[in-house]
């Protein structure tokens, strides 16, 4: 009878384990692609509830497959599921099996995910995980298979119908001739400064749309006189047919659409490397991890991010330090001075360490994690910063400032373990850096920039309401940030509530002389989820001198009718049209009376 640790037995089990992980990875890949393909039919059929359901399902799919394979591994291997020798053999045979796979890097990440789920690895175990310090360079790719080329030698307008028709939507265009003319006019105008009246140029379009929510984005580039110009066409599908809503060229416009506050696109292609290579030509400032996130490969995006972080720490020698801004009572936020990300660790209990303030919050770790998970698994409409979750990370102690180590010791003992040489972090959240809104208003000296941000703050509240989100700690503007493109976003989610849970009310007036003398807190019996609209203007946090600019555009936010109307829409399941680019860029298709309220006489 063979011993459990017999070398032949361990090799055999390693082979079996490698085959099992291969099988589940292939199943995951097929399911991911099949669900991504559904986006086309959802757009064509205007099945918006189905589109939203598929988006949530795809976000959760990776973890679903990890849960399934975890169960099967324990079922097959029992107590030996954590045997390192078996995993070392599994890695060896898995590497051999996938060596010539197109999606090698995704398959390696899947293997790593399985090892970390079973072995609960702290830091990196290079004996059983695939690891390299830098991103793997793509081998020579045939990028032309991902896009179509159109040589414009006569009229720009005459070439556009062919470009639009080649996407072969089952739904007809509302007016393809009109839209072609719209697009051509914008292209010719944009190219005029460096081309004048010259027509010759090349348009290259990725051959599948980028689907998200109700929009199909056609993404491409224009090659003209040595210039590479991004070209993005947002398509909507109305009851009258498909129409082009705008033409987008500029980096600022694209940085919002492809930004870190949106959920990922559904791009129905199996050639992700060529896709990323193309995107790098029109989004050159984006990092490789961001592009993986953008097209839905979130777990591998995390892998690429960790490689970049590891390299940055190694090269820069910078120390982690406490992040600038107001201290939060729920999280310890820290960063690297020249790294564009914030790391957040949940405190053991709600408290302040840098002041004598006393926190009245009683949020549990489970509640905080639930709030963050809810945000991760929904449409963030460009208003909530993407959050990545990491577990069991390991860094050298000398990489942390003494002040940060002190805060870990005082308020994060359940999450952070500090020994003589290393800091072990059991769980953290990662977000892109943004400037806290109050800090931005204090630092910015351009009145027009301040006006833009203050007005956008109102649209930020409207957009969150449209997707059924209410920031319960509304009066704390420190939970909001401003991006480099002056867009207001939410980055702190422990006070996020469903809009439907909030009872919006008007504060009752005093009933008699005695009640007039009483403080509101003594005469009004308020419940946990009551929200008195009367207090928004007083406590919203906008400096008094700037409230007039806000009120001119968003005065209706002080009216309980607005919030009740939004609650009715959310309850019906309405999916809002939230335009992620400047509305002034939209084409005027026709005179549409639906934009006007004609009920008033």
Are the CB atoms for 378 and 53 separated by under 8 Å?
no
Instruction: Say yes or no: 301 and 333 in one domain.
Output: no
Instruction: Say yes or no: 302 and 323 in one domain.
Output: no
Tell me the average pLDDT across 19-23: 97
Least confident of 45-49, 82-86, 350-354, 508-512: 508-512
Instruction: Say yes or no: 154 and 94 in one domain.
Output: no
Instruction: Say yes or no: 418 and 442 in one domain.
Output: no
Q: How much of the chain, in percent, has pLDDT values that exceed 70?
A: 96
Tell me the average pLDDT across 478-484: 92
**Comparison of pLDDT for 509 and 238, the residue scoring more:** 238
Confidence of residue 1 (pLDDT cuts 50, 70, 90): very low
**For 539-560, what is each residue's pLDDT tens digit?**
778 898 999 999 999 999 999 9
pTM: 0.89
- C-alpha–C-alpha distance, residues 158 and 318, integer Å: 56
Does residue 7 register a pLDDT over 70?
no
Instruction: Say yes or no: 150 and 299 in one domain.
Output: yes
Instruction: Say yes or no: 423 and 466 in one domain.
Output: no
- C-alpha–C-alpha distance, residues 520 and 572, integer Å: 35
Does residue 166 register a pLDDT over 90?
yes
**CA dist list (Å): 592 to 60, 212, 589, 597:** 40, 25, 8, 12
- C-alpha–C-alpha distance, residues 315 and 313, integer Å: 6
Average pLDDT of every residue of the chain: 89
Confidence of residue 515 (pLDDT cuts 50, 70, 90): low
Instruction: Say yes or no: 278 and 179 in one domain.
Output: yes
In a domain, 169, yes or no: yes
Instruction: Say yes or no: 164 and 287 in one domain.
Output: yes
**Comparison of pLDDT for 525 and 400, the residue scoring more:** 400
In a domain, 415, yes or no: yes
Instruction: Say yes or no: 166 and 115 in one domain.
Output: no
Does residue 24 register a pLDDT over 60?
yes
**Residue from 386, 463, 494, 495 carrying the catalytic annotation:** 386
Active-site annotation holds for 386: yes
Cα angle for residues 341, 346, 348 (degrees, 5° grid): 155
In a domain, 454, yes or no: yes
Instruction: Say yes or no: 80 and 168 in one domain.
Output: no
Confidence of residue 373 (pLDDT cuts 50, 70, 90): confident
In a domain, 17, yes or no: yes
- C-alpha–C-alpha distance, residues 255 and 15, integer Å: 45
**For 262-315, what is each residue's pLDDT tens digit?**
889 999 999 999 999 999 999 988 899 999 999 999 999 999 998 888 888 888
Range of the domain at 350: 317-433
Does residue 600 register a pLDDT over 50?
no
Buried b (16+ CB within 10 A) or exposed e, 276-315: bebbeebbeebbbbbbbbbbbbbbbbbbbbbbbbbeebee
pLDDT at residue 8 in the model: 63
> Which of 84, 119, 154 marks a domain boundary?
119
Does residue 380 register a pLDDT over 60?
yes
Does residue 510 register a pLDDT over 90?
no
Beta bridge partners of 255: none
pLDDT at residue 209 in the model: 97
Buried b (16+ CB within 10 A) or exposed e, 454-469: bbbbbbbbbbbbbbbb
Does residue 534 register a pLDDT over 90?
no
**For 564-581, what is each residue's pLDDT tens digit?**
999 999 999 888 888 888
In a domain, 136, yes or no: no
Q: How much of the chain, in percent, has pLDDT values that exceed 90?
A: 66
pLDDT at residue 507 in the model: 80
Region of residue 146 (left: phi > 0; alpha: psi -120 to 50; beta: else): alpha
Confidence of residue 4 (pLDDT cuts 50, 70, 90): low
**For 359-370, what is each residue's pLDDT tens digit?**
888 888 998 998
**Comparison of pLDDT for 486 and 376, the residue scoring more:** 486
Number of domains in the chain: 4
* Exposed/middle/buried for residue 567 (C-beta within 10 Å: 0-12, 13-18, 19+): buried
Least confident of 78-92, 157-171, 364-378: 364-378
pLDDT at residue 540 in the model: 79
Mention every residue, 6+ apart, whose C-beta is less than 8 A from residue 574: none
pLDDT at residue 74 in the model: 95
pLDDT at residue 114 in the model: 96
- C-alpha–C-alpha distance, residues 222 and 282, integer Å: 10
Beta bridge partners of 531: 504
In a domain, 589, yes or no: no
> Which of 385, 401, 433 marks a domain boundary?
433
Does residue 592 register a pLDDT over 60?
no
In a domain, 78, yes or no: yes
Instruction: Say yes or no: 164 and 284 in one domain.
Output: yes
* Exposed/middle/buried for residue 325 (C-beta within 10 Å: 0-12, 13-18, 19+): middle
pLDDT at residue 279 in the model: 95
pLDDT at residue 596 in the model: 32
In a domain, 134, yes or no: no
> Which of 281, 307, 333 marks a domain boundary?
307
Instruction: Say yes or no: 17 and 100 in one domain.
Output: yes
């Amino acid at each position: 009878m063979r011993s459990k640790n017999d070398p032949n037995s361990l090799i055999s089990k390693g082979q079996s384990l490698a085959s099992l992980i291969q099988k589940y990875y292939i199943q995951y890949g097929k399911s991911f692609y099949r669900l991504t393909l559904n986006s086309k039919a959802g757009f064509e059929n205007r099945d918006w509830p189905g589109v939203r359901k598929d988006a949530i399902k795809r976000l959760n799919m990776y973890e679903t497959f990890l849960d399934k394979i975890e169960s099967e591994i324990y079922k097959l291997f029992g107590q030996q599921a954590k045997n390192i020798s078996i995993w070392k053999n599994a890695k060896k045979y898995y590497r051999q099996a996938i060596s010539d796979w197109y999606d090698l890097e995704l398959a390696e990440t899947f293997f790593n995910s399985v090892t970390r789920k079973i072995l609960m690895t702290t830091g990196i175990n290079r004996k059983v995980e695939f690891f390299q310090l830098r991103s793997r360079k793509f081998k020579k790719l045939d990028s032309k298979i991902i896009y179509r080329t159109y040589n414009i030698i006569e009229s720009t307008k005459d070439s556009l119908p062919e470009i639009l028709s080649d996407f072969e939507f089952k739904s007809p265009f509302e007016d393809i001739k009109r839209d072609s003319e719209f697009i051509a006019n914008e292209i010719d105008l944009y190219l005029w400064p460096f081309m004048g009246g010259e027509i010759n140029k090349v348009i290259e379009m990725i051959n599948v749309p980028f689907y998200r929510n109700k929009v199909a984005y056609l993404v491409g580039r224009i090659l003209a006189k040595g210039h590479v110009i991004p070209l993005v066409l947002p398509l909507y599908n109305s009851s009258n047919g498909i129409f082009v809503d705008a033409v987008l060229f500029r980096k600022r416009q694209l940085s919002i659409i492809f930004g870190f506050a949106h959920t990922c696109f559904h791009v129905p292609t199996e050639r992700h490397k060529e896709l990323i290579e193309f995107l790098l030509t029109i989004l050159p400032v984006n990092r490789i991890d961001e592009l993986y996130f953008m097209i839905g490969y979130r777990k591998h995006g995390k892998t690429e991010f960790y490689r970049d972080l590891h390299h940055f720490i190694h090269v820069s020698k910078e120390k982690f330090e406490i992040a600038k801004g107001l201290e939060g009572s729920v999280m310890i936020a820290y960063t690297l001075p020249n790294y564009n990300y914030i790391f957040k660790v949940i405190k053991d209990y709600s408290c302040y360490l840098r002041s004598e303030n006393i926190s009245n919050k009683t949020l549990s770790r489970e509640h905080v994690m639930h709030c963050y998970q809810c945000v991760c698994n929904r449409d963030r409409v460009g208003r909530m910063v993407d959050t990545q979750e990491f577990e069991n990370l390991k860094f050298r102690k000398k990489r942390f400032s003494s002040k940060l180590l002190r805060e870990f010791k005082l308020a994060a003992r359940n999450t952070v373990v500090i020994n003589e040489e290393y800091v072990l972090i059991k769980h953290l959240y990662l977000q892109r850096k943004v400037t806290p809104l109050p800090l931005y208003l204090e630092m910015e000296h351009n009145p027009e920039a301040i006006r833009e941000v203050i007005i956008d703050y109102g649209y930020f509240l409207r957009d969150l309401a449209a997707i059924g989100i209410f920031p319960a700690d509304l009066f704390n503007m420190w939970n909001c940030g401003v991006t480099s493109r002056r867009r207001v976003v939410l980055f702190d989610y422990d006070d996020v509530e469903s809009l439907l849970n909030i009872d919006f009310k008007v504060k009752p007036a005093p009933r008699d002389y005695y009640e007039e003398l009483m403080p509101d807190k003594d005469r009004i019996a308020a419940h946990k989820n009551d929200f008195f609209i009367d207090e928004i203007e007083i406590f919203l946090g906008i400096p008094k001198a700037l409230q007039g600019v806000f009120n001119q555009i968003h005065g209706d936010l002080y009216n309980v009718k607005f919030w009740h109307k939004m609650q009715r829409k959310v309850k019906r399941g309405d999916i809002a049209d939230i335009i992620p680019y400047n509305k002034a860029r939209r084409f005027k298709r026709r005179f549409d009376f639906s934009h006007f309220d004609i009920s008033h006489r």
